Amino acid sequence: MRKGNTYGTHRVIEPKGTLPQPAQRLDNTMEIYDNELLIEVDTLNIDSASYTQIKNACNSDGEKMQEMILSIVEQRGKMQNPVTGSGGMLIGRVKQIGENFNNPTKVKVGDKIATLVSLSLTPLKINKIKKLSPSSDQVDIDGEAILFESGLFAVLPQDINERLSLAALDVAGAPAQVDRLVKKGDTVCIIGGGGKSGVLCSYQAMKNVGENGKVIVVEYSKENAQRIKDLNLATDVIIADATDVMDVYQKVMDITGGKGVDVTINNVNVPSTEMTSILITRQEGVVYFFSMATSFSKAALGAEGVGKDITLIIGNGYAKGHAELTLNILRESKPIRELFEKLYV
């Protein structure tokens, strides 16, 4: 077997000298190097910002969406939306293991796994798209993918449906970061609280703040807002457009008595919500941008422009223990599990 680099640089075609994620094009030939894992792919979970962009660009036409996805993978050797720069994750079966692949979990050929690294850095070949629905970001394919030695993955649990696991693990970094950032008695705002990551974040935030804290959810969809109320995942729910900065700001200030919130978690899949997140957060508070639709230059320069001394955190999809924490939410909360089963299974 050919010897590969730990971080997958041997797969970069252009530009040379960079890593697979920022690369424009990867080698997606499916003959593995000595430190790689070959996966027979069943389902892609394309991240929300990317899937929304693809759906909008194709006017929700399923055939055009398939063509666009196939074109991206053909051109780039990976599923990386050229507009959002983001990818997603996948589930599949281990087909081959390189002789020098770092394998502390003792994964075996035939094991069903979910990758915990982005499709934007994963060499991928799609032979055929078997099923795609504009309403779901899970796309069933016939294809193969490569996981590098440095790539994270989880063996799928026996007690949770695999599509349900995929849906939850796709956003596992968000509730794990909420668990780190939110303390007892905090006032927290979840922007985009009715979606997949938002529901999980709201659950974890309510768990962390305790009886004396507040969890405010901002949600554009009336249906999703009602979902949050029905699941008792917030102390306050605001139905508003998160791109309308001053409207959301005033509503949050009314709830908090003008103090703002301690922690803001941004989960939306549309651009131009950076300043909403910043303005509603108190001085020396924290904003966590999990959304891949975020412009980090807008966030950094915007915070400076309004004189906000706050901590801005880029949404890293990986946090130690994030997979187990997120799967445990599905085990702990029957209503959330039933909701996700209805949406994704």
Instruction: Give residue 94's pLDDT.
Output: 98
Instruction: Give residue 104's pLDDT.
Output: 84
Q: What are the angstrom distances between the C-alpha of 228 and each of 68, 199, 217, 220, 273? A: 33, 7, 8, 12, 20
What are the structure tokens assigned to 316, written together?
């890293």
pLDDT along the chain (345 residues), means of 10: 95 96 97 97 94 96 98 98 95 97 91 96 98 95 97 93 92 96 98 93 98 97 95 97 98 98 94 97 97 90 97 91 96 96 89
As a whole number of angstroms, the distance between CA 118 and CA 150 comes to 12
Instruction: Give residue 105's pLDDT.
Output: 83
pLDDT tens readout for residues 91-117: 999 999 999 998 888 999 999 999 999
Instruction: Give residue 241's pLDDT.
Output: 97
pTM metric for this prediction? 0.87
Residues 6+ apart with CB under 8 A from 269: 48, 49, 52, 192, 195, 291, 292, 293
pLDDT tens readout for residues 297-313: 999 999 999 999 999 99
Cβ neighbours of 217 (radius 10 Å)? 31
Beta-bridged to residue 131, according to DSSP, are: 140
Instruction: Give residue 242's pLDDT.
Output: 97
Instruction: Give residue 291's pLDDT.
Output: 85
Residue range(s) of every CATH 3.90.180.10 domain in the chain: 173-344
CATH 3.40.190.10 fits 173-344, yes or no: no
Determine the distance from the C-alpha atom of residue 101 to the mean position of all C-alpha atoms in its chain, rounded to a whole number: 26
Torsion angle (degrees, nearest 10) of CA 88, 93, 97, 101: 40
As a whole number of angstroms, the distance between CA 209 and CA 221 comes to 25
